[in-house]
């Protein structure tokens, strides 16, 4: 499997996660930052290899084999992200690009030993679960901050949007995973949320509250 094929499988996986139906050519083209015609070519190749189910004009869908392959790449990506943060002093907004490269290194021993070395982490620096070596993913109970009612408490456990911009903004607000917060009030006008954290009190926009996962406590 080539690097490019692996990236398409990953994209297919992430796009199909919620939607159960086949994924459209354009949707893939958008996340892959490429042209629809290129997507059609690649989907045909992956279909030849039985990793994707494809009917002309009807979109694409991972087969079980394709899904397993995709999950394995995601496992590598997330383990490397943990390594970069825990061992090499990377911050959570710096790891993604490097992990995008490292996830394509081919060596079973490498990834198993990395898992041992990191002491079997269950989530990556963005709170995303790390699939085990069989491709099983432990889903953690988490909800968006925006869904908490006034008075409820939660611990930050993940981000939905893990763009550099959002992560750096959270850093500026001193919001880190593990922090406990309380919803003090919600503003009906713009859906902003006022939260208490430690002994500070801040207000975050609706957009922010809809991209930060918490675990209710």
Residues at the contact surface with DNA, assessed by CB under 7 A: 2-5, 24-27, 32, 34-45, 54, 56-59
β-bridge mates for residue 213, sequence order: 144, 158
**Least distance (Å) from DNA to the CB of residue 16?**
14
Q: Is 105 in the site for a second copy (CB under 8 A)?
A: yes
Binding segment (CB under 8 A) for a second copy, from list 67-75, 101-109, 182-190, 194-202: 101-109
Q: Which does 4 bind (CB under 5 to 8 A by kind): Mn ion, a second copy, DNA, none?
A: DNA
What is the C-alpha to C-alpha distance for residues 23 and 157, in angstroms, rounded to an integer?
29
Q: Where are the alpha helices (DSSP H) in the chain?
A: 3-16, 25-32, 36-48, 64-87, 95-102, 108-117, 164-172, 206-209
What is the C-alpha to C-alpha distance for residues 52 and 39, in angstroms, rounded to an integer?
12
Number of H helices, E strands in the chain: 8, 8
Q: Is 126 in the site for Mn ion (CB under 5 A)?
A: yes
Q: Is 74 in the site for a second copy (CB under 8 A)?
A: no
In the list 21, 33, 97, 165, the residue contacting a second copy (rule: CB under 8 A) is 97
In the list 48, 65, 113, 190, the residue contacting a second copy (rule: CB under 8 A) is 113
What is the C-alpha to C-alpha distance for residues 62 and 110, in angstroms, rounded to an integer?
26
How many C-beta neighbours within 10 Å does residue 75 have? 22
Residue 107 phi/psi, 5-degree rounding, is: -175, 110
Binding segment (CB under 5 A) for Mn ion, from list 47-55, 63-71, 90-98, 142-150: 90-98
Q: Which does 40 bind (CB under 5 to 8 A by kind): a second copy, Mn ion, DNA, none?
A: DNA
CA distances 144 to 77, 101, 154, Å, are: 24, 30, 10
On whether the CB atoms of residues 79 and 130 are closer than 8 A, the answer is yes
Binding mask 17-56 for a second copy (x = CB under 8 A): ----------------------------------------
**Least distance (Å) from DNA to the CB of residue 98?**
19
**Least distance (Å) from DNA to the CB of residue 191?**
28
What is the C-alpha to C-alpha distance for residues 158 and 118, in angstroms, rounded to an integer?
19
Q: Where on the chain is the footprint of Mn ion (CB under 5 A)?
A: 81, 96, 124, 126, 128
Q: Where on the chain is the footprint of a second copy (CB under 8 A)?
A: 84, 87-90, 94, 97-98, 101-102, 105-107, 109-110, 113-114, 116-117
């Amino acid at each position: 499997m080539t690097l490019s094929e692996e990236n398409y499988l990953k994209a297919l996986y992430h796009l199909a996660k919620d939607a159960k139906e086949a994924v459209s050519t354009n949707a893939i083209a958008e996340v892959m930052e490429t042209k629809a015609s290129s997507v059609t070519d690649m989907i045909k190749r992956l279909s030849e290899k039985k990793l994707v189910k494809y009917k002309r004009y009807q979109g694409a869908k991972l087969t079980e084999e394709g899904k397993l392959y995709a999950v394995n790449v995601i496992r590598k990506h997330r383990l490397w992200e943990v390594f970069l943060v825990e061992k090499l002093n990377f911050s959570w907004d710096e790891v993604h690009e490097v992990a995008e490269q490292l996830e394509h290194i081919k060596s079973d021993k490498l990834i198993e030993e990395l898992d041992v070395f990191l002491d079997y982490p269950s989530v990556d620096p963005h709170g995303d679960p790390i699939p085990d070596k069989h491709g099983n993913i432990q889903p953690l109970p988490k909800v968006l901050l925006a869904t908490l009612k006034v008075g409820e408490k939660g611990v930050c456990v993940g981000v939905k949007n893990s763009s550099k911009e959002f992560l750096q903004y959270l850093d500026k607000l001193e919001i880190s995973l593990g922090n406990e917060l309380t919803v003090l009030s919600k503003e009906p006008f713009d859906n902003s949320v006022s939260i208490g954290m430690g002994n500070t009190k801040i207000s975050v926009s609706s957009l922010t509250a809809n991209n930060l996962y918490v675990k209710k406590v």
